[in-house]
Amino acid sequence: MAGAGLGLGLLGPRGLLSAGPSVHRAAPYLLIPMDDSQADHLKAYGLTFRVLERGGRAEWFLNFRGGAFLVPGDGATTRDAALAGVTSEPVSEGQVTDIKAQIQQQNMDAVPLEKPPKIAVYAPPNASPWDDAVTMVLNYAGINFEKIWDEEVVGKGLTKYDWLHLHHEDFTGQYSKFYLNYSGAPWLVDMVQRNTAMARQLGFPNVPAQKRAVAEEIRGFVNRGGFLFAMCTATETLDLALASGRADIAASYADGSPMDPDATRKMDWSQALAFQGAQLELSPNIPSFSDIDGHQVNSLDRRQPLGAFKLFNFSAKIDPVPAMLVQCHRDVIPDFYGLTTSFTKSTLKPSATILADEPGAPWAKYIHGELGQGTWTFYGGHDPEDPQHQIGDPPTDLSLHPHSPGYRLILNNVLFPAAKKRELKT
Partner 1 sequence: MSSRFPFPRFPFLGLLCCWAVPAMAQDPLSRAFDLERRGSYAQAAEIYRGVLRDKPGEVTALLGLERALTPLNRLVEVLPALQAAIRATPGAIPVYGVGLRVYAAANLMDSLPGLVDAWARAAPGDETPYREWASAALQRRDRPTARRAFQLARERLNRPDALAAEMAQLAAAEEDWPVATREWLRAVRQLPGYRSSATATLGQAPARARPEILAALEKESGPEAARLSVDLRTRWGDPLGAFDALTRLLTGPAPQQIDLLQGFLEQARIESTTPYLQAQARALEALAERWINAPQRARYRLDAARAYADAGERPAARRMLTLIANDSTSGPAVAAGATGTLIDLLVKEGKVEEAGRQLDRYRGALLVDEYLRLRRAVAARWAQGGDLARAEEMLAADSSVEALALTGRFRLYAGDLKAASEQWKTAGAFAGTREESTERAQLLALIQPIQEDTLPALGEALRLLDAGDSLKAAAAFERVGVGLPPDGGRADLLLFAGRIYAGAGVAAEAERLFRAAVQPDAPGTAAAALLELGRLLVATERGDQAVAVLEQMILDYPGSALVPQARRLLDQARNAVPRT
CA–CA separation, 25 and 16 (whole Å): 6
Q: Work out how close the CB of 117 gets to partner 1 at its nearest, in angstroms, rounded to a whole number.
A: 20
Residue 166 in contact with residue 218, Cβ under 8 Å? yes
Smallest distance, partner 1 to C-beta of residue 161, A:
22
- Choose between 189 and 424: whose C-beta lies nearer to partner 1: 189
Nearer to partner 1, 24 or 368 (CB): 24
- Least distance (Å) between residue 352 CB and partner 1: 23
Task: Give whichever of 83 and 332 is closer to partner 1, judged by the CB atom.
Answer: 83
Going 296 to 299 to 301 to 307, the CA torsion angle's sign is: positive
| Residue 42 amino acid letter | L
Closest approach of partner 1 to the CB of residue 300, in Å: 5
CA dist., res. 408 & res. 326, Å (int): 9
Among 277, 257, 252, which residue's Cα sits nearest to residue 267? 277
Give the residue with the Cβ less far from partner 1, 270 or 399: 399
Rounded Cα distance between 235 and 355, Å, is 15
Reduced to 3 states (helix: H, G, I; strand: E, B; else coil), residue 25 is coil
How far, in Å, CA of 371 to CA of 419, rounded? 18
- Closer residue to partner 1 (CB): 115 or 303: 303
Long-range Cβ pairs for the range 417-422 (8 Å, 24+): 417/117, 417/162, 417/163, 417/227, 418/49, 418/52, 418/113, 418/114, 418/115, 418/116, 418/117, 419/60, 419/111, 419/112, 419/113, 419/114, 419/320, 419/324, 420/111, 420/112, 420/113, 420/114, 422/320
Q: Closer CB to partner 1, residue 2 or residue 101? A: 2
C-beta of 396: minimal distance to partner 1 in Å?
Answer: 8
Give the residue from 272, 223, 275, 227 showing the smallest Cα distance to 246: 272
- Interface contacts to partner 1, rule CB under 8 A: 2-3, 11-15, 18-23, 79, 82-85, 129-130, 139-140, 142, 180-181, 183-185, 285-287, 298, 300-301, 304-305, 394-395, 397-399
Q: Which of 19, 6, 99 is nearest to 50 (CA)?
A: 6
Q: Phi, psi at residue 148, to the nearest 5°?
A: -135, 160
Tell the smallest beta-carbon distance from residue 183 to partner 1 (Å).
Answer: 7
Closest distance to partner 1 from the beta carbon of 3 (Å)? 6
Q: Which is nearer to partner 1, 61 or 336 (CB)?
A: 336
Q: Report in angstroms how near the CB of residue 19 gets to partner 1 at its nearest.
A: 6
Decide whether 38 or 210 has the Cβ nearer to partner 1. 38
Nearer Cβ to partner 1, position 13 or 94? 13
Q: Are 215 and 241 contacting, i.e. CB atoms less than 8 angstroms apart?
A: yes
Q: Please report how close the Cβ of residue 4 comes to partner 1 at its closest, in angstroms.
A: 11
Question: What DSSP character marks residue 329?
Answer: S
Cβ within 8 Å of residue 36, ≥6 positions away:
66, 329
Residue 200 identity: R
